[in-house]
Homo-oligomer: A and B are copies of this chain.
Amino acid sequence: MPVQKTLPVVEKILSANDLIALENRELLDQKGILAVNVMASPGAGKTSLILRTIAALEGSVRIGVIEGDVAGRVDADKVGETGTPVVQINTGGGCHLDAPQVQSALRALPLDEIDLLFIENVGNLICPTGFALGEHINMMIANVPEGHDKPIKYPGMFTAVDALVLNKIDLLPYIDFDLDAFRTAVRALNPQAPLFQVSCKTGEGIDAWAGWLLACRSGVTAESA
């Protein structure tokens, strides 16, 4: 066979996941819902932060939650107890959520009664950033006990997010966590994203985080109006 001189180059083909993420995004925009992809290590406090935010924003916005876990429904049960609409996704071994899973969950939620949707991803500091879900905001929760060196070891996640929460600051007196070193490492990767220091145990710092979310939600509403 002769060597082919010009090769067809096709660019910007969306993956199947990205196509469905776009559909999710369109549906969310249509419904005026701000969607937040919540990422973190196992046990960083994803559900705790969501529960604190639900309490802080009660009466201001109507919240819905999609819970992603490898197995179990512990988190969905906790959220459900507050009366918040919630759907549990079990990935059955999968280490991140994907757009088709979120699409299924969206079909099971009362979207007309939701202004702000938390999508709690699987506990994993690596893979979730590789899969768009249709979210408007990507955020991560770092936490004091896991140590201040995490930005150095997991740069992809710290670079990808639009906002960071540092949780469990109530444990600072008991743990060798260098807050300055952490901030410096975060800023080297992500100069812009707001960084909120909170304790989901005591409630410290939750208002600033919740207020920022509320401002983001107003922005989305203004755009879609």
Report the separation of the CA atoms of residues A126 and B126 in the bound assembly, to the nearest whole angstrom.
11
Distance of A175 from chain B, by nearest CB (Å): 8
| CB atoms of B74 and A149 under 8 A apart | yes
Give the residues in chain B near A123, CB-CB below 8 Å. Answer: 41, 125, 153-154
Whole-angstrom distance between the Cβ of A118 and the nearest chain B Cβ: 17
Interface positions, chain A 33-50, Cβ under 8 Å from B, are: 41-44
Q: Could you tell me the dominant secondary structure of chain A's interface residues? A: loop
Bound CA span A146–B168, Å: 11
A149–B73 Cα distance when bound, in Å, is 11
The interface stretch among A17-25, A64-72, A99-107 is A64-72
**Is there an interface contact between B95 and A154, defined as CB atoms closer than 8 Å?**
no
Contact residues of A between 92 and 113, Cβ < 8 Å to B: 93, 95
Contact status A146-B70, CB under 8 Å: no
| Cα A96 to Cα B179 with chains together (Å) | 28
- Smallest CB-CB separation from A92: which chain B residue? B156
Which chain B residue has the least Cβ–Cβ distance from A48? B147
- Given A74-B153, A153-B74, A155-B70, also A43-B146 (CB < 8 A): yes
A74 to B168, CA, bound (A): 23
Residues of B close to A44: CB separation below 8 A: 146
8 tightest A-B CB contacts, nearest first:
A43-B146, A145-B145, A95-B126, A72-B152, A43-B147, A41-B42, A42-B125, A69-B153
> What is A's interface to B at a CB cutoff of 8 Å?
41-44, 69-72, 74-75, 93, 95, 122-127, 143, 145-147, 149-150, 152-156, 168, 170-171, 174-176, 201
